[in-house]
Amino acid sequence: MKSIVLILAVSVLASGCAQNVVCPTVAPEPSPQAEPISSGVRPKADDIIEFKADPIPVRTHFKDFKVERKELEDILRAWYQVSQEHWLHGYSHVALEDRTGTIKLKEGTGISWMVRPGGLAELIFQDGTVLYLARELTPWEKDTELTVELDGCVAPDKRELQLVCSMTRTEFAVEEKLPPPKVTIRNNTNADVDIIGPTITVIVCTLVQPDKTIVPMCIAMPTGRDPRQMPPRKLKARTAIELTAAGIWYYEETSGFEPYVFQKEGAYEFKCKYEELNSNTITITVRKNAEPAARKAEHLKKF
């Protein structure tokens, strides 16, 4: 009799569940989700699910310098993470040639990236945190330390070098373009000095106009070599490096980087800066009736 009652009880429970009676159920296992990456932590190359590269600037000097997904993945796997101070001051930087874009990780994080010729990169996280990467790990001392002990000798710091700017002429006509200067870096000390990073770099310049307004400019210094493959340079004692500029530009908000054209008569002051080195000042005179260089050269050909 007891066995019959037990069978009936099981039947009632089964029929109750079938008639939408609430019955106990087993909750499914939650699907595992990737943890969001912390800001400032290098992402794994294999976690990238989306890669985008911004268009290459129209005025680029390195049309073959491109960053595809594979290049960025290699950077994430192999490049060194360095401090901001080291990244900014321990390497030579190539301006106006940045390649930029974004990536998205499989857990949803979006990160902006920037790769600069010469082996430098940034990862910018959504909260503004920046991770600095470099292809080569250069020697680095604190900014306050100007000398390094080498075998009992004191080696001069890069800031003890001399930056010299010169121009073939300093008189120009109104509506004439400002030509790039010749730039020389001299080591007047008795010891070799390391010039960290590639020799291709940008010299920053300022032009003080007759009304005392300042026009910031930059000079590109190409060397004919791929900047990504250029090794660090050592400037030997009592020697100099002379750099021939490809051009000089200032930034115009409406049209981007443009050559500078003299618009006013008067005296101008021009000087350059390379990292922490300041050059001499060149005084330039501009007149309305001055003979432009092209016309003067054509005139000289007749004699």
Domains along the chain with CATH numbers: 45-134 (no CATH), 154-298 (2.60.40.10)
Distance of CA 61 to the CA centre of its chain: 15
Q: Tell which residue, 279, 284, 281, has the closest CA to residue 209.
A: 284
The predicted-structure confidence for 145-165, as pLDDT tens digits, reads as follows 333 333 334 445 666 788 899
Name the CA dihedral angle for 171, 174, 178, 179, rounded to a multiple of 10 degrees: -60
Per-residue pLDDT of the chain (303 residues), as tens digits, is 444 343 333 343 334 444 444 444 444 444 444 556 666 788 999 999 999 999 987 777 777 889 999 999 999 999 988 888 888 877 877 777 889 999 999 988 999 999 998 889 999 998 889 999 998 887 765 433 333 333 334 445 666 788 899 999 999 999 999 998 988 888 888 888 776 544 445 678 899 999 999 998 888 655 444 444 444 567 788 888 877 677 888 877 777 778 999 999 999 999 998 777 889 999 999 998 776 655 555 544 555
Neighbour count for residue 211 (Cβ, 10 Å): 7
What is the DSSP pairing of strand 201-208 with strand 256-258? Answer: unpaired
Q: How many angstroms separate the CA atoms of 59 and 47, rounded?
A: 33
Structure tokens at 110: 């979006």
The structure's pTM equals 0.49
